Amino acid sequence: MSFYSYSSDINQFFLLLFLTALGEVPFISVCYLRRTFSWCSKGYKEAFRSGDQEPWVFRGGLAAEFQRMLPIEGAHDLFASKAPSSPSCSLCVIRPYLSSDEETVYRICRNTCDDGMDGTDVFPDHPNLIGDKLIGGYLQNGSQYCFVIECNEEVVGYVLACLDVKIFNETYKTMWLPKLHKLYPKPRHTNNLSPAEEIISGFYETDRPEVHETISKNYPSVVRIDILPEKIEDPSIVKGALACVMAALKTNGSTGMHCEVSMADQQMNEFYSKLGFVNLSTTIPPVSEDSIIMGRAI
C-alpha cells in the first residue's frame, strides 16, 4: 500500500506537469517561479498543520515546484487529496475538449440534467434540447477553456468555461439563439406546456437581466461542470479538471468564475460547494427567481 501511495503522488505530479504546460502560461508563471513560500505565507502554515499533505510537499520536490509554477495559488484545496483507499484499474485522463466529443458531452448533459439523474425521458422528442440550453453556448464560444474527463477511453465528464461572461452572453444572443430559433419553433400555445416547451419558450424571452457589476468585476468567467459519478471512482479527478480550467482562465486575466444553479437542484449545489464555490445570491440578484449564483475566486 505504501508503494500505491507513492504512485498516486506521481500521478498528481503528472497532472501538475500538464497544467504548467497549458498554453500561454510562461509569462505569468515567472512571477511564481521567483516566489518562495514561508511560514508566514497565506494558508501555508494552516495547510502544513492540517496533516492533509505529506511532509515532503512542503520541503520541495518536483510536485511542489510545479505547483508553485501554477498561476492559481488560491487553489491548494484542489490538490490536497489523499490516495484512494484501494488500488483501481481505471485509467482516467483530463484532456482538452475536441469537436468529436460533442455527441458524448451532450449525452452526459442529458443524463445528469434532472437533479443529477437521467433526464432522457423528460425530452423524448428533443434529445439535444437540454444540451443546447445548458452547454451549447460554451461550445459556440470555442473550446479554449473546455476540458473533458476520460476514464478507460470513455468520456465521463466535462468542465466547460468561457473567459468573459459578457462576451459569452453577447455571443449567445447574436449567434446561438438564432440557431436555436431555427431548431425549435416557438410553441403556439402558452397553457399546459410540457418541460420541453417551457425550455423552448425561454429561448424567445428577451428580458433577461444584465450581468451584475460584482460578477463582471470579481467573477467574470462562467463555468459548467457535469460528471457521471458512477464512472469516476476518484473525486480528485474532477478537482484536477477544474484546476486545468482555472489555470487557463487565470493565465488569461480572469479573477474568478461563477455558475448559475437551480435552487431546487440540491445535489448540484452540494457538488459545487465541495469544489470551493460559495453562494453569491445573498448579495447578487440571480438571473431568475428559482436559481442561485455560485462563485469561486481564482
- DSSP secondary structure of 148-211: EEEETTEEEEEEEEES-HHHHHHHIIIIIHHHHHHHSPPPS--SS--HHHHHHHHTT---PPPP
Give the pLDDT of residue 35: 44
Q: In this model, does residue 167 exceed pLDDT 90?
A: yes
Read off the pLDDT band of 222 (50, 70, 90): very high
Calculate mean pLDDT across residues 267-281. Answer: 90
The rounded percent of the chain whose pLDDT value lies above 70 is: 67
Q: What is the biggest distance separating any 2 CA atoms in the chain, rounded to whole angstroms?
A: 67
Strands 256-262 and 221-227: parallel
Read off the pLDDT band of 39 (50, 70, 90): very low
Calculate mean pLDDT across residues 275-296. Answer: 84
Mean pLDDT of the chain: 79
Give the pLDDT of residue 87: 58
Instruction: Output phi, psi for 297, to 5 deg.
Output: -75, 150
Read off the pLDDT band of 64 (50, 70, 90): low
Tally of CB atoms within 10 A around 110: 21
Q: In this model, does residue 30 exceed pLDDT 60?
A: no
Give the pLDDT of residue 207: 67
Calculate mean pLDDT across residues 253-282. Answer: 89
Q: Choose from 2-16, 99-113, 223-237, 239-253 the range with maximum mean pLDDT.
A: 99-113
Read off the pLDDT band of 25 (50, 70, 90): very low
Q: Where are the beta strands (DSSP E) in the chain?
A: 92-96, 147-151, 154-162, 221-227, 256-262, 278-279, 291-297
- Quote the pTM value: 0.77
Tens of pLDDT along 118-156? 888 888 889 999 999 999 999 988 788 999 999 888 999
For domain 88-297, give the CATH number: 3.40.630.30
Tens of pLDDT along 83-97? 555 555 567 888 899
Span(s) in the chain for CATH 3.40.630.30: 88-297
Which triple of cell numbers denotes residue 158?
A: 466535462
